[in-house]
Amino acid sequence: MPGGLIVDIDESRTTQAGKMSLGRVERDHVMTGPYLVDNVALVRFSSPRSEVPAETVAKLKQYYELRDKLDQRIEAITRQTIRTNPETAPFIEAKQKYDAFEQKISQLVARRDGASGEERSRLIDVLREMIPAGQRLKIAVENTKIRYDQWKASHSDAVIVDVEKDAQVCELREQLSALEPEVRKIF
């Protein structure tokens, strides 16, 4: 059911699907039905629509139509959006490990350069022993970078949209924000 649709409820029923309302639905400004509608999809009021001012009904209808449009737009963006590159996390992790290793090497080199005698010889040996580990970390960074770049190249048509920056989403949220104070008064 689209948001903002008016339903005049005749009675409530409990079915296997849950609590439902039986009533007439507004279609092209004409009440048709009866239809059985899930109560989850309804915002229900205790008084009949005929007792509610027309401006209030119009305001609520407008508000829920906008909410429906916003939900549909977010859903459309979500369907379009392809997840981010799955190789990003492994690449970042490998790069961080390599950078931390390089920082440790730099510290040891600084200590070696300031040391003399036996301490200097010991630090030279430690640095020499670290060379294979450094090479493995560098290869890991290069390999994850290759996989990252390959995924990116093979998904060049990927649409990655930030819902919060989408112009239509922002516009609909602004319109809803403008209506919310009036809608809160109704409830």
For residue 51, is it within any domain? yes
Strands 7-15, 30-38: parallel, antiparallel or unpaired by DSSP? unpaired
Per-state percent for the chain, helix, strand, coil, to nearest 5: 65, 15, 20
CA–CA separation, 176 vs 70, rounded Å? Answer: 9
Contact 54, 147 (CB under 8 A): no
DSSP 58: H
Do 97 and 50 have their domain in common? no
Is residue 2 in a domain? no
On whether both 139 and 172 belong to a single domain, the answer is: no
Residue 1 maps to a domain: no
Are 39 and 131 part of one and the same domain? Answer: no
Best-predicted range by mean pLDDT (3-7, 8-12, 43-47, 146-150): 146-150
| Residue 3 predicted with pLDDT over 80 | no
Check whether 39 has a pLDDT greater than 60: yes
The total of structural domains in the chain comes to 2
Instruction: Clarify whether residues 22 and 114 are in a common domain.
Output: no
Asked if the bond preceding 34 is cis, omega within 30° of 0, the reply is yes
Mean pLDDT across the stretch 161-174?
86
76 and 97: one domain?
no
Q: Are residues 58 and 13 in the same domain?
A: yes
Domain housing 172: 7-80+161-186
Same domain, 100 and 129: yes
Alpha carbon dihedral 134, 139, 140, 142, in 10-degree steps, equals 130
What is the tens place of the pLDDT at every residue in 109-158? 999 999 999 999 999 999 999 999 999 999 999 999 999 889 888 876 66
Domain check: are 16 and 73 in the same one?
Answer: yes
Q: How confident is the model at residue 80 (pLDDT cuts 50, 70, 90)?
A: low
Judged against a pLDDT cut of 60, whether residue 63 lies above it is answered with yes
pTM value? 0.53
**Tens-digit pLDDT profile for residues 137-150:** 999 999 999 998 89
What contacts 98, CB < 8 A, 6 or more positions away?
Answer: 137, 138, 140, 141
- Of 106 and 52, more confident: 106
